[in-house]
A and B are shown apart, each in its own frame.
Chain A
Amino acid sequence: MNRASSRFKSYTILITFIAILSISCSIIQNISILGNLNNSHSYFSKSSLNRSAVYDDNDIILIEDSIINETIFIMENAEVSLVNTTVEDSIYLFNAGILNIQQESSIANSIIVSDFSTVNIYNSSIVGNIECRDSSSLNIFSSQTYSTIIWKFDSSNLVITNSSFFQLNEFGISGEILIIDSLINNVNLNGLSSSLVYINSSNILFFNDLAKPINYITGPTMFNLLGSDVMYQTSERSIILTWIGWDSPIIDGYLNINFQILVDSQFYYEVNGSGFYNNYIGSLPINFTSTGIHDISLISIDSFGNNFTSTITIQITEYPSFSWNFFGIGAGILIVFIFISVLLLRHQQNRGYFSSIGNIFKKELSESKIKIIIFTIIGVVPGILLHLIFRMMNRLLGRISIDQVRTITNIFLSYYLLYFGIAFSIAFASSSIIGEKKNGTLSWFFSKPVRRWEYLWGKILAYLFIIILIMIPSSISFTLSGILFVNSIYINDLFSIGGFIFLIGILTLIPLLAIGILCSTLFKKMGLAIFVPLLLLMIVPSFVSFLPILFRHEWPLLFSYSYYFERLGRLWISNTGGGLSTILSPYSGLLGFNITPIDLSPINIVFILSFITILCLSISTIYFQKIDIA
């Protein structure tokens, strides 16, 4: 019984405790809600604060009134007009409130204007201060406010006409102050001069200008708009610096400003930018004596000695010069090698070894005459198009820089090689053997004393010769396209570009030839042999070009054939332009992340392309010996 009674007591205590806890929580919660309700409504309640007048709804005009010991709040687009009215306490405007003070009204205390609110004062007097904040507007006309201090903060606009007041304190950026026919005891400018102050026909007793004159470098490029990480690169040894500069105050329409240009912290030139205008737009050619990274600083200095410095960093890129000496030596070695080979073959022929390689080479060239003519014409078309573009640019811009020539040439080159490579591979390498294999010509031809490898290499050598034959006029057309329009000091650059285009063309087309030959020996169907160049040059690069975004690394580009010649184009012709595969990494910063580049050197690329060539031709030669030609 005792045990049951004790258990009942315990339950009662527990239930009582839970009940008390629940009620307490409920009370606390309700108090909290009530409190919040109070807080959220008290500001708007007229009755809760007897010493405030809140105007947040209707427009109101107070005429010959007197508001004593009441703070006035004007908000939510409400427009309050005080006509011949006296206000003894402060007035606050926010959320686009409008206050018109007119006809000898008097404000004894401060006016605080903010959040797109506007105060218009006409023929009245203000005793207290006026603070203009956050995109507010203040217009004072014919008003005497001798003791008033006006504060101007960010993005506020002030127009003071035919008035007098004690002090103007300017802070922040943006906005405009226009003072006309007025008397001011003291003007303090503290902000940046992007907040413009115009003073016309006014009397200022004491002027304290601490506002920095502003400048903004607009050229040689607008790249600095994109962020400080992007360095402007150029191959020009002479650039034109352009800028815009302004300063506050502009007194009676006169801007008083000077500019100093420093190159690598050394004084370079001084420009007097003073004159009757609101801002100064300047330009100055700067010649560099060395390549590499250079800082250009533009210092603007106003009449009070305030200064402001803008700096851009420019990398004067020195593209490699095409070594015509090495090219000549290489071509000479090749000619000697061919000559010796021919002599050796003749010598072997005298000893009873007959080779058909020369006959097949000649036949292939002879049969390809029309194709060679067509491809030569196609090869010079980009040069002609470039010439027309440069001519048009020259007419429109007045001048073409070597940078522009390099960039546009590089863009053209990458697309030219892409489409030309596909066409070449299909027209020559992929189709030739497969066609003869398919129609039985090859089977018949091999009943003659022809070694298979000689047949294959006779064709390969003919195609190599055709590549050289086509690339010569093509490179010349690229070289000559801009020669009439660039400064003569860059003529050597153009010839260098021409040499590299020839080299890139050769380095691109030879591995493609090897791949085409491999397809032609491996496949029996023409469709497959045509599909492979398309796959390699169009489909795979299109797919692979975006993978670096996914992997944050450029390694997928190694599977894109176009990456190799585009990369050579970037290294040798222009580090801007080119195809998609090479531009992601340099500008990945703009996308908000970084892509780690592979940074293949030309030697690496030549090695990879040579490897592809040797591998494909070796497999083709071995396989061609073994296959059945039906």
Chain B
Amino acid sequence: MKNPIIQTFELTKIFDNKTLAVNKLNITVYKGIYGFLGPNGAGKTTTIKMLIGSLHPTSGEIELFGKNITSKEKINIHNLIGYVPENPTYFSDMTAEKLLGYIGSIFHMPKQEIKSRTSYLLKLVELSDAKSRKIAKFSAGMKQRIGIAQALMNDPELLILDEITSNLDPLGRNQMIDLLKELRQEGKTMLISTHILPEIQKMSADSIGIINQGNLIMEGSTKELNQRLGTKEIRISPNIELFRESLKGFVSKIKEDADSLIIEANNLEQIWHTIAEISLKNNIIVKEFRSSGLEIEQIFMKALEKENKN
């Protein structure tokens, strides 16, 4: 059985005794990419800040690597984390090289290791040329990249990235996504909070958690969520008239798109059986039979719709 990297138990945060930011949140993050999704103000950043220890939970518990973060192990746990904030400022009077050196010293890394790691990371985030420039003079994209570099300084097992692409232009986003994919290849676990859903799709998140108004409304792998939400799309062509009549009884929604029939159904198995039966019976060759899962954006929207209905 896989061990969770992050696990929260009934995690709650109420600000000033009146604003409920996070409500009894239970998330479980396993190795891989975890997309932490939610609209603005959903409670993503608050949850992340509780994970890194800058905010104290009002109630509930957090376990990172199986250890409670309020324990004496907190410092050791932080040795395994890398965090990139949403709007990074860091120590803006420092140069990129000095910042990484300082972070290395905070992790008590040997000087030689600091030097080599700094050089490697600056190369990785393509900031070698700007290593002597003050962070205050960096562009938003460069700040995000130095943010990744500083978060990787201790070669952490877990990266917590808060709206990592929000300040980037499309090119920068793609570069960042490629970088994160690369890190995933290296075996890093990443909790990526974002409200820009296609990016999570591009990163092929292993699992996602959807949060709204402080409540976790859905969590699981994209496959699980597809099944749980119970709506699939099947595209059939030609002879769409024949199929429409036959499938009418047990599909929730049928649409036509040019010469194709798009079917949304709850029970995919039964549909397959019915389609197979009709085609055999009528000796029809189905030219196109394509079943597609929901995109993350659709999952997100459906989850929100479902939450609103509830």
Contacts and interface: CB of A to CB of B under 8 A. Distances in A.
Interface of A: 349, 354, 356, 359, 363, 367, 439-444, 446-451, 626, 628-630
Contacts of A356: 106
B106 A444 contact: no
Contact of A444 (B55, B79, B88, B93): B88
B89 interface: yes
A356 to B, nearest CB: 6
Interface stretch (B46-54, B224-232, B235-243, B262-270): B46-54
Given A367-B91, A442-B54, A629-B54, A354 B85 contact: no
B65 interface: no
Contact of B56 (A354, A449, A450, A628): A628
Contacts of B54: 442-444, 446-447, 628-630
B106 A449 contact: yes
A354 B75 contact: yes
A443 B85 contact: yes
Contacts of B82: 447
B90 interface: yes
- How many chain B residues sit at the interface, stated as a range, is 20 to 34
5 contacts: A359-B102, A359-B106, A441-B91, A444-B88, A449-B106
A444 B90 contact: yes
B2 to A, nearest CB: 24
Contacts of A449: 75-76, 78-79, 106-107
Interface of B: 15, 49, 52-56, 75-76, 78-79, 81-83, 85, 87-91, 93, 102-103, 105-108, 160
Contacts of A367: 91, 93
A626 B70 CA distance: 12
Given A448-B106, A629-B49, 17 more contacts: A349-B108, A359-B105, A363-B102, A367-B93, A439-B89, A444-B54, A444-B83, A446-B53, A446-B54, A447-B83, A448-B103, A448-B107, A449-B106, A450-B78, A628-B49, A630-B49, A630-B54
Contacts of A441: 89-91
A299 to B, nearest CB: 74
Given A441-B91, A630-B54, A450 B160 contact: no
Nearest to A452: B53
A451 B75 contact: yes
A447 B53 contact: yes
Contacts of B49: 443, 628-630
Nearest to B49: A443
B307 to A, nearest CB: 26
B102 A447 contact: no
Contact of A447 (B87, B108, B160): B160
A-B pairs with the 3 shortest C-beta distances?
Answer: A447-B83, A447-B52, A443-B54
Nearest to A354: B108
A304 B56 CA distance: 97
A253 B78 CA distance: 100
Given A444-B83, A448-B78, A628 B106 contact: no
Contacts of A349: 108
Contacts of B91: 363, 367, 441
A275 to B, nearest CB: 77
A626 B88 CA distance: 24
Contact of A629 (B55, B83, B107): B55
A626 B75 contact: no
A630 B91 CA distance: 17
Contacts of B87: 440
